[in-house]
Amino acid sequence: MKTILITGCSSGFGLETAKHFLANNWKVIATMRTPDTSQFPSSDRLTILPLDVTSEHSIEQVIEQAGPIDVLVNNAGIGMLGPVEGTPMAIARTVFETNTIGTMAMTKAVIPQFRERRAGLIINVTSSVTLKSLPLLAIYTGSKAAINAFTESLALELAQFNIRVRLVLPGRSPTTRFGENAQARMQQGFNKHYASFLQGVFDQWQQDEVVTHTDDVVQAIWQVANEQDTPMRIAAGADAKALIHAAD
C-alpha cells in the first residue's frame, strides 16, 4: 500500500485529493495548519497532522510523524490579488514564504528518504496563471512561476536517484476558497488609483465560463501519481488546458 502526504488539506484541491486517494486504497497523510477531522471519513489509513509550511520545526515534526512516504503533493498556498503598487512588501513576503519557500522546504525535507530508497514522487501544484500574463496577479504569479522553474531544474538533479518531480497547473476555480483566503490581503493592498481597472478585471472574470473544477485537479494529481511517463507539466481544467496548448 502506497502512502501520500498532501499539504493544504483544509479545503479545495487538497481536501478532495486526500479523499480521492483514501477512497482508492492509499494511505493518506493529510496536513493543514489547523487539523479538522470532521471533513474526512473515518479510516485507519488516514492520518491528519498539523503543518505550517513556513515553519522549519513544523515541517520536521510532520516528516518524523509521517514516516516513509511514496508521494509528496505540495498543494498548500495562499492567494493574492491586487496591484503591486498598493501591496505592502510584508504581504508579498508572506505570499512567497508560503507558496515558494514553503514548497521548497517541504520538498527538501523528503528528498533524503527518497534518495536512500531510490524511489519517490514530488508533485508541485502551481497555477496556469504562470502560462499567460494577467493583471493584478503579479505577486501571486511570481510565487508560482518560481516553483515551476524550481521543479523543472530539481527534476534534472533527482532523476539519477529515480525520483520523479512533476507540476500540476490548475486554472481558475471559483468554487475554491482562493478569493476568500486572499480577501484580507487584497484589502490591505487596495490602491484607489486602480479602482476602475480592478472593477473591469473582475467584470471580465465574471463573464468567463471556462473554468477549472476541483475534480480536474484531483484527476491530474491521480494521473501523475499512477503513471510513470507523464509530462513535466500537466494542466488541470479546461481553461488551463487551453493556455498550455497556446503556450506550446
Using one digit for the tens of pLDDT, what is the confidence trace for 131-188?
998 898 999 999 999 999 999 999 999 999 999 999 999 998 877 666 566 555 555 6
Pairing of strands 120-125, 71-74: parallel
Q: How far is CA 130 from CA 17, 32, 80, 136, 148, in A?
A: 22, 25, 14, 13, 8
140 has catalytic annotation: yes
pLDDT for 174 equals: 79
Pick the catalytic residue from 13, 140, 178, 194.
140
Per-chain mean pLDDT for the chain:
92
pLDDT tens-digit readout, 188-230: 656 778 888 877 777 777 767 788 999 999 999 999 999 999 9
Q: 210 with 239: CB under 8 angstroms?
A: yes
Q: Domain tally for the chain?
A: 1
Flag the least confident range among 69-73, 82-86, 213-217, 227-231.
Answer: 82-86
Neighbours of 2 (CB within 10 A): 14
CATH number of the CATH domain containing 50: 3.40.50.720
Radius of gyration for the alpha carbons in the chain, expressed in angstroms and rounded: 18
Can you read off the three cell numbers belonging to residue 239?
481553461
Main-chain dihedrals φ then ψ at residue 230, nearest 5 degrees: -95, 155
Query: Which class for 87: exposed (0-12), middle (13-18), buried (19 or more C-beta within 10 A)?
Result: buried
Q: The domain containing residue 228 runs over which residues?
A: 3-247
C-alpha–C-alpha distance, residues 91 and 123, integer Å: 26
Number of helices (H), then strands (E), belonging to the chain: the values are 9, 7
Read off the pLDDT of each residue in 14-19 and give the average, rounded to a whole number: 98
**Where residue 248 falls among pLDDT bands split at 50, 70, 90?**
low
**Look-up of cell digits 479545495:** 12
Q: 234 with 223: CB under 8 angstroms?
A: yes
pLDDT for 245 equals: 80
DSSP H/E element including 30: strand 27-32
Q: 151 with 164: CB under 8 angstroms?
A: no
Read off the pLDDT of each residue in 30-58 and give the average, rounded to a whole number: 96
Whether residue 117 has pLDDT greater than 80:
yes
pLDDT for 166 equals: 98
Read off the pLDDT of each residue in 79-107 and give the average, rounded to a whole number: 94
Q: How far is CA 97 from CA 10, 52, 126, 131, 232, in A?
A: 19, 11, 14, 22, 24
Whether residue 52 has pLDDT greater than 90:
yes
C-alpha–C-alpha distance, residues 137 and 201, integer Å: 11
pLDDT for 42 equals: 93
